[in-house]
Amino acid sequence: MNEIQRSKIVLKILNQIYPKTPIPLKHKNLFTLLISVALSAQTTDVNVNKVTKKIYPKYNKPEHFVKLGRKKIEKLIKSTGFFKRKAKSVYLLSKQLIGKHGGKVPNNFDDLERLHGVGHKTASVVMSQGFGFPAFPVDTHIHRLAQRWGLTNGENVIQTEKDLKKLFPKKYWNKLHLQIIYYGREYCKARECYGLTCKICTTCYPKRKSPIKTKKA
């Protein structure tokens, strides 16, 4: 079986398990989506949602965060981890949005990736989940699953994104990246590959005898 055949199986099974793909990070608008994605680095979406639940009813625009200042932002987001770095990004990107984009979140990769602390993955999530633009945000989890399913040779997240974009038609990208994230959380965790039990692997690799080792992103 080649990777095109495996990709079709993956798509079919994921569509059966996850017909709907609600956005995991709770937000009120495009700006708060951007902030939530920035806060989600090195922590769980559940943790981010717990923290932002108390913040967003009161603070949900760039002006609010500029007014708050870095120290107060640090206090509000402390439990998301790496809070000093994250608070700096939230503060500076809010200032950039006001100064260069009239307080609005830009709808293109170049401008998004120029915002403080916003990398390609964060920009991809905002483009995909916020603007509905076809994107394929690849984090370490998607990278891991794509390797285990034999959809990429797994050198790094950049390569994995290219490989997945070649294998799957554009119209599926936005939904599929969420489906893979859900599947990884539920079944295919970093240290818990059972190798022989899940339908995706038993269908794609009927002769596999043990879990495959994955390369780090």
Cβ 148 to ligand SF4 shortest distance, Å: 4
Min CB(199)–ligand SF4 separation in Å: 8
Q: Which is nearer to ligand SF4, 110 or 192 (CB)?
A: 192
203 three-state secondary structure: helix
3-state helix, strand, coil in the chain (%, to 5): 60, 0, 40
| 195, 208 Cβ separation under 8 angstroms | yes
Burial 92-114 (b: 16+ CB within 10 A, else e): bbbbbbbeeeeeebbeebebbee
Catalytic residue selected from 12, 53, 71, 139? 139
Compare residues 23 and 212 and give the one whose CB is closer to ligand SF4. 212
- Catalytic option among 121, 163, 207, 213: 121
Residue 45: active-site member: no
Which of residues 2 and 210 has its CB atom nearest to ligand SF4 in the complex? 210
Binding site for ligand SF4 (CB under 6 A): 148, 187-188, 193-195, 197-198, 200-201, 211
Q: Minimum distance from CB of 142 to ligand SF4 (Å)?
A: 12
Handedness of CA 23, 27, 28, 33 (dihedral sign): negative
CB nearer to ligand SF4: give 117 or 195: 195
Assess whether 75 carries a catalytic annotation. Answer: no
Q: How far is the CB of 119 from ligand SF4 (least distance, A)?
A: 26
Reduce the secondary structure of 126-165 to three states and give it as a string. HHHHHCCCCCCCCCHHHHHHHHHCCCCCCCCHHHHHHHHH
Q: Would you please indicate which residues are annotated as catalytic (active-site) residues?
A: 121, 139
